[in-house]
Structures are given as C-alpha cells and as structure tokens.
Chains A and B, each alone.
Chain A
Amino acid sequence: MRNEQRSLFFNVDWLLILIYVALCMIGWFNIRAAVFDPEHTSLFDTHTRYGSQFIFLIVAFVVGTVILLLESRFLSALAPTFYVATVLLLILVLVIGRNVGGNQAWIDIGGGFRLQPSEFAKYSTCLLLARYLSGVNIKVTEIKSFLIAGGIILLPMLLILKQPDAGSTLVFCSLIFVLYREGLSPLFLIIFGLLAVLFVLSLLVVNQWYLIAGIMTAGLLLIWFVKRNRALALWVLLGTLLSVGFVFVIRPLYTHGLQSHQRERIDLVLGLTNDTKHVGYNQNQSKIAIGSGGMWGKGYLQGTQTKYSFVPEQSTDFIFCTVGEEWGFAGSIVVIGLFLFLLLRIIHVAERQRSPFSRIYGYGVASVIFFHFFINIAMTVGFMPVIGIPLPLISYGGSSLLSFTILIFTLIKLDSNRMGIV
C-alpha cells in the first residue's frame, strides 16, 4: 500500500498540476478584480464571487485528489455508465432545468448551487469516445466505426443544442482533432477549414458571382496542376462544384437557419455592421478594456473598465478583459503562454501512453481545452462572435472549474499508471 502510494506520488505529472494550479490562481485573482468593490474587501466572503470561487477551488482540489486515488481501470470501465448518466441528465435538464440567460442548462442541487450537465457531458463523451476507439479492430477509417464515433459525439451535441446552448454544442466539434489523430482523413480537416473560409467569404463578398467565378478559377487551375492524376482531378472537380453549391445555399441558410442575435454577432465580427451600443456593446467594451491595458497594464484592481462594470459578464465569459486591462500585454503573454504550454504538455503526455484509451482520452482533453481557450479569447478581442463559453480554469463558475479539473486530473491519473495495464 505504501509502495503504491509512493509510486503514485512520483508518477503523477507535476508539471501539468503546476500549470493547472497557476491557471486556477490567475483565475481567482482576476475574478476578485472583476467583481472588486472597494467597500467589500474581505477575501473569503462567500457572498462575493471570489469567495464562492475559493470554495469551488477547494472542492476542485479535493475532487482532483480523489480522482488520483481511484483505480484507473475503474474509469475506463465506467465510461459507458457515465455517458448514459450525462445523457439522461441532459434530457432531464430539458424537462426540469432552470433557465438562466436564455439557456435551460442548469439543475438545482440545493444549497444555492446548480449543476450544468453540459459541462460534464464533455468529460463523459471524451471517455466513451476513448473507450470505443481503443477497442480491438476499431478504425476510424472504416465507415461503420466512423459513424458510431460520430454518433457518440453527436448525441450530447443535439441535446445541448436543444437547450439551446450553441457555445457548448460547438465545443464537441473540437473532437474532430481526436478523430484526426486516430486516422481520420485529413480531408475532413481541410473540408472543415474550406467550409469556414467559404462561409466567411460568402458573407463578405456582396456579389456572389464574383465569389463563384473565383472558386471556378481556383478549381480549374488546381485541376490543370494535377491533370496527370485523373482521380485527384476528379475529386478537385467535385470539390469545386460542391463549393459553388455551398455558396448558393449558405446565404439563405444563414438568414433563416440562425437566430437573429447570432446573426448580428457574426455580422459584427465580420465588420458587416458597426455597433457599439447594443449588440456590439459587450465586445466593444471588451476590446476597450484589453486595448487600454498597454504593455504592462493598469495594475491589479486598477482597471477602470473592470472596476466600474463597463464590461458585462466580466467574471465569467469576459474574464480575459481583466487580464488584458490590469496586466497588459505582458499578462496576455503569460496567460496564452500557459494555455499553450498546457495544451502541448497534454499532447506530450497523451503521446507517451502505451494504452490507446489514455492517448485518445488525452487528445480529447486537449481538444476541448483548446476550443474553449481559442473561442473565448478570440471572442474578447473581437475575432469571434460572442459565444457564451468560459475560459477554462480562469472564468468564474463551479461546474466549469469542476469539469475541467475532472478532465485534467483523469488524464493525470491515467498517465501516472501508464506503465501498468489499463
């Protein structure tokens, strides 16, 4: 028993834990700044958000420690149970959930605390996806396996979209990195990227015929280059035609398929509309907060944008404003550097696993964190439309902190056992 404990202590990836703790503390300090009120300066007052967050942090550390003490085999074995449980919770939340800010995403669990099942769905989906893909003779390249894997991802997506929480739904898209790593054709990534570019272009270019002419020209040039390879040329031709078709359908789809506030937010980022008062208020104030930070920032608790409530949601989704305003570009480098370090470390850890389950799960964790990190910061700097997803470990919120803690510590646990058999 003592032997096992010592091995656990030596085998955990302390670097990951260090980055995790660093991000948590940065988050806590910035939540304090975001909700700072000169009249209430107590650090641990649970009526304030930094007081609550302190409790969440303790809970998270306890949960993390508990996960480290669990049997690794247990996690893999329970993956389907977790998955089913979260799916049930996602259904339940649609029935008895509490509606906060337009999303029916919360279940009251008493004591003034609420549970957000969608946060935990990310975890259980990652686990089940890892469990399924690590199975014998399962290959993503095969159509059946691909469809089942896709189904595992799609089911919680659809349920969350029903809430409707577009941000959390999109997070599941990031799992395409996992599939890619496990052998999915790079064509999917390319198509994904191409569709995104076409989407933006078709909204930006007023006259669609110019865009279509451009696509045709590019397609024909490509065909001319690869004319020796008949099959490839045919694929390119097909792609070109599909692109043209996509351009035709995207406008009506955009106009009718999206809700008006989503459309407005996208228009804003693309510069199609210019508004700083209503729809664009948040993002404009967010940019002002970050942009006014300069190189070294205004100093801790000195951010005027933050302190005087010019940025809404500044302790949750727009927490990065506080970092940018009070710590400046230097602070931005530190936070982004830590996230990149975390992501690369997770990939490193994932790749050193002997068991495919651990590796696939590790990629799942990296994908989810990456997506949150990218979309959240891009949103605060005006690169992405406003989507309500938190910055991992930094934004205020118990469910979010807990789910990321579970995600990361499960990986640490799996990693500490990498020499053993899962």
Chain B
Amino acid sequence: MTHGAEPSRVVDRTLHALAEALGADGAALMLIDDHDRPRAVGGSDADGRRLELAQERTGSGPSIESLARDADVAVNDLYAERPSGFPGVAAQTRRVRAVLSVPLHADDRVIGSLDFYDRVSHEWQPATVRAGRRLAELMVMVLEALAHKSPFSGQS
C-alpha cells in the first residue's frame, strides 16, 4: 500500500475536505467496529478527536444519539443543559460548541456517524443539515472503497 493510500491518511484528508465543503471548523468520525461497538476514529484536528473520544468514554453525545436514533442530531451549543446540550461531553472537549451529527449508512445499515463542528455556538440551518446528510454519503463511499480494497481480513 502506498503511503498516500494509508487508510488513516485517506480518512484524514476526507474529513478535512468534507469540513471545508460544509464550511465547518472541523469534521470527526465515529464508526461501529467489527464487535458492534461505537469507536472514536478521529477528527480533522485535535478538537475533533477529543469530541469523539469524549463521546466514546461517556456513552453519550450527539454522535451516540445519532447512532441510536438513526437520525440527524443538531446541537447548537454543546455546553447547554440537557436535553439540548451535552455538558458532560463539552467539559472534555472544551473548544467545540456547535455539533451536527449525521448517521452513515451502508447497504441500509447504520455504520457510524459523521460530526461537523464549529467553535462558536449557532443554530444549524435546515439547508446545512441537508448538505451534511449528502456529504455523509461521500464519507461512506470513501470508507467502502477502503474496506474493499485493503487487506484487513487476516487481522483481528
């Protein structure tokens, strides 16, 4: 496998491009692993990675909720009290405020969720949420291509 095609680099560059396409500060990824557990895969920057790790640790957050409900979850301010915010997650991520989490589907199955985030709180407009959903489809295409073209079968 060439250096440029290393899965983590491909995912990193895709997250950067998707965040740029939506006009968000960053994008981050939570995926269901081969034991059906949500895993914090990472983000386009350190804040994104912290956001996913905080959700994996606490078992709560927009991404976890998006996975559980198979629906978009738009959080205007992570610091807001429940149910509109996730202060427990916010305390661990510090700089992330607004989060849009959209489920990722492959072959009619939820395989994870894609988070877009901004460092200032704001309302997510319906057009942005729709765009986020379509961008999630591009993320799935990249993941499918990686899954089928990479020799993971022998690893466990």
Same complex origin of A and B: no
